[in-house]
Amino acid sequence: MQFSDEKDQRISQLENENRTLQEKVNLLEHNVEVLTQAVLHAAKQRFGASSEKTPPIYGQCFLFGELIDGILDETENKVINIKEHKRPIRTKGDREKLIKALPHEVIECILNAEESMCGICGGELDIIGKKKVRSEMEYIPAKLIMKDYVQYVYKCVDCGKNDTNTYDSIICAPVPAPVLTHSFASPSCVAWVMYQKYMMSVP
């Protein structure tokens, strides 16, 4: 009799535990479903197609060449006034004025000894004239050189050898002060940079 009562209690206990576990499973499944829907909704909002529509543009064509609304009405076109600009008219001699102050170097195109022979009779060719063909402006970039300042040290040959001056006399040659300490910059470099920056307005 006692064994039957213990068995019934054990069955009742197991049924209660089973019911509790089933309720937990149902709750967890519900939470998983809610979270899954939330993730899908967020992904759709971020990566899905937008519901916003682009406003129609009059005169725009489809990919297959169909006109949306026909030809634009001329009255709907907006007119924008553009401010006129003036440009100086070039006159004859402007280019010569610009290059007049530049130093000129003449490049003479002459024939060498082998080429200055007539191709027909073999006679010697004489110069009968010359003409200017063209002018070219050549850009020669700045040349940089490094100046190494070497300071010489001098020592008196008499000091330190007599009773009057018992110590050696050592003198160093003067060295010009640098523009910027611990820098390669020289006065000419600094002057060129300042000229380019403030006089030529180079950024």
Total Cβ atoms within 10 A of residue 156: 13
CA–CA separation, 94 and 80 (whole Å): 36
Q: How much is the pTM?
A: 0.33
Rounded to an integer, what distance in angstroms lies between the CA atom of residue 160 and that of residue 156? 8
Domain definitions of the chain by residue range: 1-48, 147-203
**Unique residue bearing structure tokens 């998983």:** 32
The Cα 136–Cα 106 span in angstroms is 11
What 3-state DSSP class applies to 67? strand
Residue of 75, 71, 135, 130 lying closest to 105 (CA atoms): 135
As a whole number of angstroms, the distance between CA 190 and CA 179 comes to 8
Q: Please say if the pLDDT value at position 49 is more than 80.
A: no
Is the CA virtual torsion 161, 165, 170, 173 positive or negative?
negative
pLDDT in tens, 83-138: 777 777 777 777 777 777 878 888 888 888 887 777 777 778 787 878 878 777 77
pLDDT digits (tens, 9 = 90+) for 53-95: 565 555 555 554 444 455 555 555 677 887 777 777 777 777 7
**Contact criterion met (CB below 8 Å) for 144 and 186:** no
